[in-house]
Amino acid sequence: MSSHRLPGHPFVAYRNSTLHIENVALDALIADHGTPLFVYSKASMLSALAAYQRGLAGRNVQICYAMKANSTLGVLQVFVQAGCGFDIVSGGELDRVLAAGGDAQKVIFSGVGKTTAEMRQALAAGIGCFNVESEAELAVLSSVAVSAGLCANVSIRVNPNVDPKTHPYISTGLKDNKFGVAHEDALRIYQYAASLEGLRVTGIDCHIGSQITDSTPYLDAMDRVLDLVDAIEASGIALQHIDFGGGLGINYHQDTPPEADMLWQQLLAKVDARGHGGKKLMIEPGRSLVGNAGVCVTEVLYLKPGEHKNFCIIDAAMNDLPRPAMYQAFHTIVPLTANPAREAPTLYDVVGPVCESGDWIGRDRKLSVHAGEYLAVLSAGAYCTSMASNYNTRGRAAEVLVDDADARLIRRRETSQDQMRQEILA
């Protein structure tokens, strides 16, 4: 049996010319589940997690999967079973963690716009820590906690003002974006937090961006955060943990992000050299745990030749795979069946059926395909189904979790009835 692995996707390979995830042939899933279909490799998620676990071995560490990357219950279960905590950004995400069997004490709550209802919900559930992003939020959280007769553990998200050199929409640690508090204000805001009755200051937090493929911004951010740790502790406020966020990139297309274990070796050397190696470490990886664990299988509906462009129209669209429309992101697109005897490939824009010119999935791709055949969009595990919408009244795609040779449906395809359920005829 011939086997051909795809670089950067260790659990996706052609075997006898058919694309497999682990030991499941993707074409075999189409008859049961239809397309577009998201398929995830459990082994890929666990192997990505293992790289962090190796890098942080022997440390007091809590890995909190940033579940906005992919919040499907069956995916959350993989991380619950692996002992992870969760980084949440809404009350809805907390409901999902609990529905998946997650431990509320291992939940940290990030985000600039938590409502008082979400604060009450999270306090009642007994989450581990709130990552607070402004002075105003500190005051509100304190009063919510006091009126509930509880005390909220907080860490403050500081903005280290380093450029992660990623897309501007996923860069979060620069001065002029909405996240965190400015480095120069942090000490004063920590003192304010420590004065509030309903709060217990436990840590410090930062998160500088997403799809970061260079270790330099991380190393710079760690220095900036440790400067603040020193200053805050010198002012008499003890910190128990350092939360260093997420953001590590994956290989979409010729990207070469550092390996999580190598990156953490470098970061820990800094933490140790500056005398903070005894502190608890928290991290919030999202994309790097799930991004390359998923593919989206889609059918070629029509080929439409044009004067300047040829279009390959598929049954997946921007409502299923929003990243190209949102960030001009690149996803590798490959045929489900490799056929080297085919005619020479043609250059296509691969587009979906949604009525928007922005509905493209890949531009200028060389493909040798026919209508009725299938393609796989790679790196579809992160920020795809969790960002999916019903635009054009398209139902959300079905999702399958693969574990070795076992393939399990973890989300049924959404029907029109599902979509209309909350609506009321006037």
Interface positions with ligand PLP (CB under 6 A): 66, 68-69, 87, 110, 207, 210, 245-248, 284-288
Q: Which residues 6+ apart lie within 8 Å of 85 measured at CB?
A: 62, 63, 64, 65, 102, 103, 105, 106, 107, 108, 128, 282
- Mark whether 64 is an active-site residue: no
DSSP state of 171: B
100 three-class SS: coil
Residue environment code for 321-347, b if the CB has 16+ CB neighbours within 10 A, otherwise e: bbbbbebebebbbbbbbbeeeeeeeee
- For ligand PLP, the nearest residue by Cβ is 286
Q: Closer to ligand PLP at the Cβ: 48 or 312?
A: 48
Taking the complex as a whole, how short is the minimal distance between the CB of residue 172 and ligand PLP, in angstroms? 7
Q: Closer to ligand PLP at the Cβ: 3 or 256?
A: 256
Strand pairing of 129-132 and 107-109? parallel
Q: Which residues 6+ apart lie within 8 Å of 18 measured at CB?
A: 25, 26, 27, 336, 337, 338
Strand pairing of 37-41 and 398-403? parallel
Q: Closer to ligand PLP at the Cβ: 72 or 288?
A: 288
Per-residue tokens: 3: 């086997």
Taking the complex as a whole, how short is the minimal distance between the CB of residue 174 and ligand PLP, in angstroms? 14
Q: Tell me how far apart the alpha carbons of residues 410 and 42 are, in angstroms, rounded to a whole number.
A: 12
Q: Tell me how far apart the alpha carbons of residues 78 and 238 are, in angstroms, rounded to a whole number.
A: 34
Q: Tell me how far apart the alpha carbons of residues 360 and 377 are, in angstroms, rounded to a whole number.
A: 12
Q: Closer to ligand PLP at the Cβ: 191 or 215?
A: 215
Taking the complex as a whole, how short is the minimal distance between the CB of residue 108 and ligand PLP, in angstroms? 9
Strand pairing of 406-411 and 152-159? unpaired
Q: What DSSP line would sit under 307-345, residue for residue?
A: SS--EEEES--TTT--HHHHH-----EEESB--TTSPPP
Out of 84, 129, 296, 355, which one is annotated catalytic? 355
Taking the complex as a whole, how short is the minimal distance between the CB of residue 279 and ligand PLP, in angstroms? 19
Nearest 5°: CA angle at 326, between 364 and 220?
105
Q: Closer to ligand PLP at the Cβ: 218 or 360?
A: 218
Q: Closer to ligand PLP at the Cβ: 80 or 336?
A: 80
User: Do residues 338 and 300 lie in contact, with contact meaning Cβ atoms separated by under 8 Å?
Assistant: no
Q: Closer to ligand PLP at the Cβ: 102 or 286?
A: 286
Taking the complex as a whole, how short is the minimal distance between the CB of residue 407 and ligand PLP, in angstroms? 25
Taking the complex as a whole, how short is the minimal distance between the CB of residue 382 and ligand PLP, in angstroms? 6
Residue 50, CA distances (Å) to 46, 150, 211, 260, 381 in order: 6, 36, 19, 9, 17
Percentage helix, strand, coil for the chain under 3-state DSSP, each rounded to 5: 35, 25, 40
Taking the complex as a whole, how short is the minimal distance between the CB of residue 127 and ligand PLP, in angstroms? 14
Would you name the residues annotated as active-site residues? 355
